[in-house]
Structure 1
Amino acid sequence: MLRRIYDWCIDAAHKPYALWIMAAVAFAESSFFPVPPDVMLIPMSLARPARAWFYALVCTAASVLGGVLGYGIGALLYDSLGQWLINLYGLGDKVEAFRAGYAEYGAWIILLKGLTPIPYKLVTITSGFANYNIWLFIALSVIARGGRFFAVAILLNRYGEWIRVRIERHLGFWVSLGAAVLVAGFIVAFRMI
């Protein structure tokens, strides 16, 4: 099953709709969706390493736009939708501590959490809830998300074929490792917030 999904993602990289799907995942992940865009970015960049930079740019733009939606959820809809999303992830009792941290460490929180596998939607919603400066939030999001996606693009553009061979040889291991990193991101988010 993993092989079929991987092969679909590799084959889909050559289809015109793949870019839109990746952008939609990047957008949604920044505000409400639990799956990171790396599940599309990595296979598409492996299939077409010369376009890895473009894919990273699309992920960055869509992620920042999704972050603005997440910010809006936190700022305008926290009492209903925003609080529901935070509670969905079991973090309702930790939002106030996270919000208080913004007074002193807001820029560092956005930068560091935007680069890690910690779910970025938690940062975007809480940034809106904390009334963090929207323009600074956008600038920091461009830096953090762009840094993350372009780091992937650099690696896959430069070492794409070498990486692809190793991923295909040990696909189960790499998928398990990716899932473990995603779960670790949620665990760290639960403990840090």
Structure 2
Amino acid sequence: MFNTIYKKCLYLAAHKSSKYYLALVSFIESSFFPIPPDVMVIPMVISKKNDFIKIFFIATIFSVLGGILGYFIGAFFFELGAQIMSFYGYENKLSIIKDNLVNSEGFYAWLGILFLAGFTPLPYKVFTIASGLIGFNILIFILISLISRGLRFFIVSYLSYKFGDIFTKFMDNHGSKWFTAIGILIVIFAIIIYLIFKHYV
């Protein structure tokens, strides 16, 4: 099933209305759809290099809007949100997440997790729904989503624009590992900055 959906997304990337389809895929991927927008972003940028900034913006904005939908699914449609989390194997982790958010360290830990979910191959949709389920601050949620999704899609769009098919092969073979490593390094760097700031303030 996933392979069929993946091929359909590749087909839509070559469609004359590909930007509209990218907006749709970016939106629904953030709340329930299994295929990430990168599948469309890379071939679209390679074939329409002058539009790489526009493609990056479409993927980012609609992904964050879809994340807000995921948040509201979690906040107001508990059973649906729980079913989606169960589909991705995260239903048993919700109580652990909620218990850890009662202190400031848990709050900052969730910030890091939410960033990694938006930036790395982690299922972002699970964490948008979980943020709604646990009542996480929605403005901070939107800000972190904009940063993480924007950074991810900018890197994908820019490197596709710069290196074309070479980057496609790299993403197929090593993309998940590198994005995970970079995301973790960014979070570690942010923690170090926070600790230094906390020490001197």
Tell me the TM-score range normalised by the shorter chain.
0.7 to 0.9
The residue aligned with 2:18 is 18
The residue aligned with 1:55 is 55
Q: Distance in 1 between matches of 2:26 and 2:61?
A: 9
Q: Distance in 1 between matches of 2:8 and 2:33?
A: 19
The residue aligned with 2:153 is 149
Equivalent residue letter for 1:37: P
Task: Check conservation: 1:9, 1:43, Cα contact below 8 A.
Answer: no
Task: Check conservation: 2:23, 2:62, Cα contact below 8 A.
Answer: yes
Distance 1:77 1:59, change over 3 A: same
SS at match of 1:117: coil
The residue aligned with 1:112 is 116
Task: Check conservation: 2:116, 2:122, Cα contact below 8 A.
Answer: no
1:124 counterpart = 2:125:
no
1:82 counterpart = 2:81:
yes
Q: What's the % identity of the aligned pairs?
A: 37
TM, length-normalised to structure 2: 0.74
Task: Check conservation: 1:75, 1:128, Cα contact below 8 A.
Answer: yes
The residue aligned with 2:143 is 139
1:41 counterpart = 2:41:
yes
The residue aligned with 2:191 is none
Q: Distance in 1 between matches of 2:34 and 2:8?
A: 18
Structure with larger RCO (C-alpha < 8 A, sep 6+):
1
SS at match of 1:132: coil
Task: Check conservation: 2:10, 2:40, Cα contact below 8 A.
Answer: no
1:181 Cα deviation from its structure 2 partner: 4.2
Task: Check conservation: 2:90, 2:126, Cα contact below 8 A.
Answer: no
Would you say how many aligned residue pairs link Structure 1 and Structure 2?
Answer: 169
Equivalent residue letter for 1:92: E
Q: Distance in 2 between matches of 1:7 and 1:101?
A: 40
Q: Distance in 1 between matches of 2:127 and 2:9?
A: 30
Q: Which runs of 5+ in 1 are unaligned?
A: 168-172, 186-193
TM, length-normalised to structure 1: 0.77
**Aligned-residue CA RMSD in angstroms?**
2.8
1:90 Cα deviation from its structure 2 partner: 2.4
Q: Distance in 2 between matches of 1:148 and 1:63?
A: 11
